[in-house]
Amino acid sequence: MIMKKAFTLLELVFVIVVIGILSALIIPKMERDPVREAAIQLVSHIRYTQHLALVDDKYADTEDPNGRWWRGRWELKFKSADETNNKESYTIFADSYTYSGNANSVDEIATNPQDNSKKLTGGDSAVHYNNDRATKSMNLGMSYGITSVALGPNCKHSSSKGIAFDHLGRPLRGGFSAFTSPYPSSDNLIISDCNITLSNGSESVIVTITPETGYTYIAN
C-alpha cells in the first residue's frame, strides 16, 4: 500500500502566514503613485519637445513675412484656465508667425505620435480639454490630481511657464514670442538646473532639466 504525503495543519498555517507577510510587503508597492506617474509622463514629453526642435527648427518657415522663424520654436507650456477645466495642464506646440505665445490654432499643436487623431494638449485655446482631439492624460489635474506645477527661478522668464529648445537642443526659458534673434541670449538660455515641481498637495516630485544638453530626469 502506497502512502500519500499530505500537509499537516502546522505546515498549512505556516504557508498562510508566509503568504500574508509577502502580501503585506508587495501590495503597497502595487498601489498607484499618480504624482510620480505624472512626472514620468512629463519627462517623456519634454524629451519629445526637444526632439521636435532638433528635427524641425523652423528655419525654412516662409509664412512670416518678417522672417522671425525663431519665435515659433517648439515649446511645452503649462496652463490652468477655462479650456483646461481650470486644472493644471500642458501643451506642446510651435507658435505661428503671429506669435501670440499661445496655441490658438489646431495646426500649431503637435500631433500625438501614439494616436494621430489626437493633439498633444490637455486643453488650450484651440483644443479644449473636452474636445475629442485632446490628449486627456496631459491634463495633469484631471488625470493625476496635480494641483500645482511650479517652475524654479532657473526655468522662468518673467511670468512665462514654458520651456522651449533651440536648433541645437539647448533648453530655453519663457518669452519666446518676444525673442529678437535666432541666437538665444544668456538671459534666455537655461544655464543652471531647471526644476519643475509637481504636487498634489501632499506629495511632490521634481523634474529636472539640465542646462546645455537639456537632459531631463526625475530628481527625487
Q: Which secondary structure element, helix H or strand E, spans residue 195, and what is its range?
A: strand 194-199
Q: Which amino acid is at 9?
A: L
* CA gap 194, 181 in Å, rounded: 23
Residue 60 pLDDT:
66
Residue 208 pLDDT:
97
Domains of the chain, residue spans: 34-218
At which residue does the C-alpha cell 506629495 appear? 203
Tens digit of each residue's pLDDT, the chain (220 residues): 555 565 576 666 666 666 777 666 665 555 689 999 999 999 999 999 999 999 986 776 667 778 788 888 899 999 999 999 999 999 999 988 788 888 889 999 999 999 999 999 999 999 999 999 999 999 999 999 999 999 999 998 777 789 999 888 999 987 777 788 888 777 789 999 999 999 999 999 999 999 999 999 999 8
Whole-model pTM? 0.84
- Cell numbers standing for residue 28: 503597497
What residues are paired with 14 via a beta bridge?
none
Residue 200 pLDDT:
95
Q: Which amino acid is at 133?
A: R
* CA gap 19, 23 in Å, rounded: 6
Residue 2 pLDDT:
54
